[in-house]
Amino acid sequence: MSGAIEQIDFHALAAWMDTCDLGSGPVQDVQLLAGGSQNILIRFRRSGRDYVLRHPPAHPRPESNETMRREARALSALAGTGVPHPALIAACDDETVLGAVFYLMEPVEGFNPAAGLPDLHAGSAAIRHRMGLSMIEALVALAKVDYRAVGLEGFGKPEAFLERQVGRWKKQLAGYAQLAGWPGAQALGGLAEVADWLERNRPASFKPGILHGDYHLANVMFCPDSGEVAAIVDWELATVGDPLVDLGWILATWPEDGEEPVMNIRPWDGFPTQSELVRHYRECADHADFDAGWYAVFGCYKLAILLEGTFARACAGKASPEIGDKLHARAKWLIGRASRWIADGMPFERGAGGLG
């Protein structure tokens, strides 16, 4: 069996499940699932019911236990809302049971497009178009949840959320200087100019809400028989702030006409354009008066800095040089994209009913 599976003490898991009245007898039909992060996802069966276990990796990060607690809290809060998500079954805060905080959730019957499109979806441009629109509808549903009403008061710090963002990520970038061999921020081209533009053009206000924090096609599962979102997954970066940051993340990662399909998802024709995504968000949201361009540029800026972190670690011999070079090239491309949007206008606002 996989090393990840061998890491889990299923006898201890079963004993804990007994205390929660979650079936009886042995854990069966154990299967390792592919996840969008380094966390372990295992599907299993007990007493005729299927479960998915989410557990930190074999070598957990210092924040792994707190991340598990936050994920479980977010999923618990979303119960009964219109947001498609994996339903939380139970969470274990006792690190001694399996060596770390973990939780159980309902399996999601669906597929992730980053792993390839099923024949039905690959064969229908109309279904692929619906996939993109459904992603926007799921995002709007999340933004409409009253975070206080569902128990997420204190889950984030919405006060001055946007004012903190550029400085926060600028500080993270500066921290890479501690890694030997990293050539510095200048290797990313016009990043400083992008940061200055973001500060000068920051939205004056926003409506606080829940944001996923890493919303893109690899973190969404779709129904096997339609273009509807079955569940938004991987909630480890969820917080309370400005939900439009998630829209910007989609735009930053979504291809324009003539560009290679995102994550090599093929065929790409039929998926909505960026303008269609923005227009659909405006149609579905409670408010349509927002500057999608600012959020898209911020998405490029933040993602570029995150990707550059792997390159910096690769320069210091702490990550794969091949992956580091690939992500550095992508980070430069993102800053170039943001710079072009700033100079030439936001293409996705044309015909989207926006401000541009």
The string of DSSP codes covering 151-181 is T-TTSS--TTHHHHHHHHHHHHHHHGGGSTT
> Does 264 reside within a domain?
yes
Whether residue 151 sits in one domain with residue 96: no
Indicate the SS3 state at residue 41.
strand
Is the same domain home to 120 and 58?
no
239 and 298, same domain (yes or no): yes
75-97 tens-digit pLDDT: 999 999 999 999 999 999 999 99
pLDDT of 249 higher than 80: yes
Q: Rounded to whole angstroms, how far apart are CA atoms 248 and 119?
A: 30
Q: Are residue 268 and residue 328 in the same domain, yes or no?
A: yes
| CATH number of the domain residue 80 falls in | 3.30.200.20
- The predicted pLDDT at position 108 comes to 97
230-244: per-residue pLDDT in tens?
999 999 999 999 999
CA pair distance 148, 159, nearest whole angstrom: 14
| Separation between Cα atoms, residue 44 and residue 41, nearest integer Å | 10
Give the residue from 79, 105, 131 where a domain finishes.
105
What long-range pairs does 251-260 form, CB within 8 A, spacing at least 24? 251/277, 251/278, 251/292, 251/295, 251/296, 251/299, 251/348, 252/296, 252/299, 252/300, 252/303, 252/334, 252/337, 252/338, 253/216, 253/217, 253/299, 253/303, 256/347
Query: Are 97 and 143 in the same domain?
Result: no
- Residues 128 and 155 occupy one common structural domain: yes
What angle, rounded to 10 degrees, do the helices at 292-315 and 161-175 form?
20
Residue at 356 is within a domain = no
pLDDT band at 37 (very low <50, low <70, confident <90, very high): low
What pLDDT does 356 receive? Answer: 36
Distance CA 55, CA 62 (A): 14
Q: What is the pLDDT of residues 48-60, one digit of tens each?
A: 999 999 999 877 7
For 117, counting Cβ atoms within 10 Å of its Cβ (0-12 exposed, 13-18 middle, 19+ buried), the class is: buried
How high is the pLDDT of residue 354? Answer: 44
Residue 303 falls inside a structural domain: yes
31 and 62 share a domain? yes
CATH number, domain containing residue 307? 3.90.1200.10
Domain boundary among 82, 105, 128: 105
My answer on whether 300 and 155 are in the same domain is yes
- Residue 351 has what pLDDT? 57
Q: Which domain holds residue 310?
A: 113-349
**The amino acid at 166:** V
The domain tally of the chain equals 2
**Tokens standing for 44?**
């299993």
Pairing state of beta strands 220-222 and 88-92?
unpaired
Tell whether 208 is covered by a domain.
yes
Are 338 and 221 members of one domain?
yes
15 and 155 share one domain: no
pLDDT of residue 264: 81
Do 100 and 128 lie in one domain? The reply is no
Measured CA to CA, the distance from residue 135 to residue 268 in angstroms comes to 15
Task: Count the neighbouring beta carbons within 10 Å of the beta carbon of residue 7.
Answer: 16
